[in-house]
Structure 1
Amino acid sequence: MRDDSTGAPQTEAGGHDESAEDTAPEGRDGRRRGVSRRGILGLAGAGAALTAAGFAGGRLTGSAQEQEAAAPTASDSYPFYGEHQGGIVTPAQDRMHFAAFDLRTDSRDDLVALLTAWTAAAAEMTAGRPVGGDPTSYDAPPNDTGEAENLSAGHLTLTFGFGPSLFRDAKGRDRFGLAARQPQALARLPHFPGDNLDAARSDGDLCVQACADDPQVAVHAVRNLSRIAFGTASLRWSQLGFGRTSSTSTAQATPRNLFGFKDGTANLKAEDPDLVDEHVWVGAGDDAAAGWLAGGSYLVARRIAMNIETWDRTSLREQETLFGRDRREGAPLSGGTEFSEPDFALTGRGGVPLMAMNSHVRLGHPSQNNGARMLRRGYNYTDGNDSLGRLDAGLFFIAYVRDPRTQYVPMQTRMAREDGIREYLQHRASALFAVPPGVREGETHIGQALFA
């Protein structure tokens, strides 16, 4: 990523101190490397202590021309700080690395220190800067792993969430003194009909969704957050994704899933803030015990394996009937264009509905779900093949909702029982996280209101 001498979130002017005490050590080439000063982040805890040393380092200073060339541009980055976290209504990028973590500590101070370190690192990486600058000692490990150096910010967004187990463990124990502030809607998702879940790839205390235009930028972000967490939290499971399967902006064309169909045509869009407010953002009065979550959302994650080989041997007629859409244009089978509203009452020969009763579009449409809507940010995935030579591929489903109890659980329960496509799918991982609002001015870490 680009290297400059600016801090986050505000830019600070800083000159290079030429005093002897600040003289940088020599590298293997015998040249002195000038380093500008930066303050040490006040971090505590085992995991964050490792990071504090990294953030103590300054940045390399070069010529004015070099710094100008390396400066991130507004066109390739999104702001990290704000009312809401990035990566929700942000125009969906093409690549994703999702990761869930388990905490290895019962210390509330360690948890806060980790979130503080993560927040500082996220602000730098989303701006296209390396984590913590360069080391002040050649004998110290680099503060940034380096694989994103010279790459742009790639429109990286980092979205953090808290799982139910952060508040209470499996035995109901209050781990960090937060149980009284657990949102009522934040509980493990139920076991839906047909679920074949892998417990090792489900749930988690914390999560981070890294989305970017460049897969290396997204992987770099999760790698560095995992490195920062060492000793405090460990990676529980992760998933790489490519080829977004939904649009979150009207400026984006509707993409296709691995079954070859346009999906999520009616997805919520950032350009309709009223609908987003109604269906995505948690309101201040939604939960008296969880006022800290106002302005945040809930993240539903489901790893859905697709039986690719079986689907590829299915007739086009059946494929379109199961989806309820024309494959080429994405128009509903009741007629019109892709964005035409489906006519579920329209029938064909023999009075058979043109939109089959078990079609995916019918069962997922808001009119069939008491008006409930979601903002989807899913991605295709492929993880090689299984022992029988079949593709291990599918959809990593991500959706943001204001209340999963009314917007997701009823719809998924119905679809798991009735959706004709379920014959070609298997849900293998599941998780629900509360996503705090964005980091505002004066705050030092994500979810700070939870700990107030």
Structure 2
Amino acid sequence: MNETPDITPEPRDPEPAPAVSRRRLLGAVGAGAAVAGAALGAGGAVLATRDDNGGGAAANPAATTVPFRAAHQAGIATPSQDRLCFATFDVASTASRADLAELLKTWTAAAEAMTAGKPVPGDVGDLNAPPDDTGEAVGLAPGRLTITIGYGPSLFDDRFGLAARRPSLLKRLPQLPGEDLDPANSDGDLCVQACADDPQVAFHAIRNLRRLGFGTVLPRWMELGFGRTSSTTPQQATPRNLMGFKDGTRNIDATDGSMMGEHVWIGDDEPQRWARGGSYLVSRKIQMRLEQWDRDRLGDQQDVFGRLKSSGAPMTGQREFDTPDFGAKDSAGQYVIPATAHIRLAAPENNNGLRILRRGYSYTDGINPETGDLMGGLFFVAFMKSPDRFITLQRVLGQHDALKEYIQHIASGLFVAPPGLSAGQDWGGQLFG
């Protein structure tokens, strides 16, 4: 199926109201004022200070936290963590504007606590109510947990009075070459990206936000990612994707403020002031035809990517970070880096300087019961100041990239990730104004 799904969420039956009032969490909103005043910025980390109730050991050097409150949301410029849990939600048909605003306020308090390495706040020990925290992260290091929220185009319809606050470039992605999208695993009113160095910590974050959303939001789809497929700082080693190639060698350096301002952060030209300093998030589930790839000869694999598999160096260089020479030709007059090579078609030099920040992960869905093939690939996540950047790149890649023989885009989503929160601010107040 090549038609882009309609952005109006399918009607779903309402869920039962939560047994525990969310109001018990709201006192935690604004508790990060001191953190906000001393925030390290989007890439910084500090040692966690869990108390005895929170579990974990502050002396553990791995027990690091990323500030929740800053000019930009964490989880974008933050150095990429090892694991991902990404989920989307639709607002229940029975939920009101006030319900959604209250939930976003509740989510803010919970997210701020969890990213600080603490359990979801509440009345500890109330035997007549479910626990305020599901408990599976007790004793685990925070693992640089970040929780990043985004809003889909469908949220800005007439249900909650948000139509006039829709960011100017937030609209459904057009149909793109070579995609075969599953509507059940695409889009959504809201998305939440939880990244951490521990998969259980990331899953715990999504699980608790979903639990707090009972009666207000309904889960639409979720993806678990392992093995990050891109580096966002020069200090990180370049990882490999499931095809065995180094991935993201020429990614944006997220520590470069000038580069991020030029390519990633929504600027002052955006009419919606509340969205300035945010970013557009594109997610794509890309299935790899792994059995077909594993039977291909090494020389062709390298031609597909335009890089040497062993070192990651461009085919015109010796080391990974050597600048590709796209004009170099061999003795037969053919380009050393083929015309259909992935790095040539995606290169900023060949796209008028266009760049996006990639934060993708590998995924697996097990084994296809009919063919016995391994089901896995790339869960592509990227941030950019305009969705047109992704659309432009994908139109080129979808038509000419040699890699398209071995991959299939099967799910998609576009969201606006708002800027970070200041002291005392919450996601509900930020969205509704």
TM over 0.5: yes
Q: 1:341 to 1:47 in 2, by over 3 A?
A: farther
The one-letter code matched in structure 2 to 1:184 is S
- Contact 2:114-2:120 at 8 Å conserved across structures: yes
RMSD, matched Cα: 2.2
Deviation at 1:135, TM superposition (A): 3.2
Instruction: In structure 1, list runs of 5 or more residues that go unmatched.
Output: 1-45, 59-63, 169-173
Matched, 1:431 2:420: no
Structure 1 residues 310-347: Cα deviation after superposition (integer angstroms, max 9, x where no partner): 00000000000010000011111112311111111100
Match of 2:376 in 1: 393
* Paired residue total: 394
Deviation at 1:270, TM superposition (A): 2.2
Match of 1:159 in 2: 148
Q: 1:56 to 1:121 in 2, by over 3 A?
A: closer
Q: 1:53 to 1:109 in 2, by over 3 A?
A: closer
Distance 1:113 1:87 in 2: 23
Match of 1:247 in 2: 231
Deviation at 1:66, TM superposition (A): 4.5
Q: Of residues 7, 19, 25 in structure 2, which corresponds to 1:55? A: 25
Deviation at 1:449, TM superposition (A): 3.3
Structure 1 residues 123-144: Cα deviation after superposition (integer angstroms, max 9, x where no partner): 0000111112453421211000
- Contact 2:55-2:138 at 8 Å conserved across structures: no
Q: 1:247 to 1:123 in 2, by over 3 A?
A: same
- Contact 2:19-2:129 at 8 Å conserved across structures: no
Q: 1:368 to 1:386 in 2, by over 3 A?
A: same
Matches within 5 A, 1:167-182: 167-168=156-157, 174-182=158-166
Structure 1 residues 68-96: Cα deviation after superposition (integer angstroms, max 9, x where no partner): 98565685111111111110010100000
Structure 1 residues 297-320: Cα deviation after superposition (integer angstroms, max 9, x where no partner): 000000000000000000000000
Distance 1:293 1:69 in 2: 36
Match of 2:90 in 1: 102
Q: 1:215 to 1:270 in 2, by over 3 A?
A: same
Instruction: In structure 2, list runs of 5 or more residues that go unmatched.
Output: 1-15, 29-49
Match of 1:450 in 2: 431
Distance 1:161 1:110 in 2: 18
Matched, 1:299 2:281: yes
TM-score by length of 1: 0.83
Distance 1:306 1:65 in 2: 44
Match of 1:19 in 2: none
Distance 1:49 1:292 in 2: 33
Match of 2:131 in 1: 142
Match of 1:217 in 2: 201
Q: 1:71 to 1:260 in 2, by over 3 A?
A: closer
The one-letter code matched in structure 1 to 2:224 is L
Q: 1:68 to 1:305 in 2, by over 3 A?
A: closer
Q: 1:69 to 1:118 in 2, by over 3 A?
A: closer
Deviation at 1:205, TM superposition (A): 0.2
- Contact 1:51-1:228 at 8 Å conserved across structures: no
Q: Of residues 236, 240, 243 in structure 2, which corresponds to 1:256? A: 240
SS at match of 2:184: helix
SS at match of 1:120: helix
Match of 2:258 in 1: 274
- Contact 1:296-1:435 at 8 Å conserved across structures: yes
Match of 2:348 in 1: 366
Match of 2:4 in 1: none
- Contact 2:172-2:414 at 8 Å conserved across structures: yes
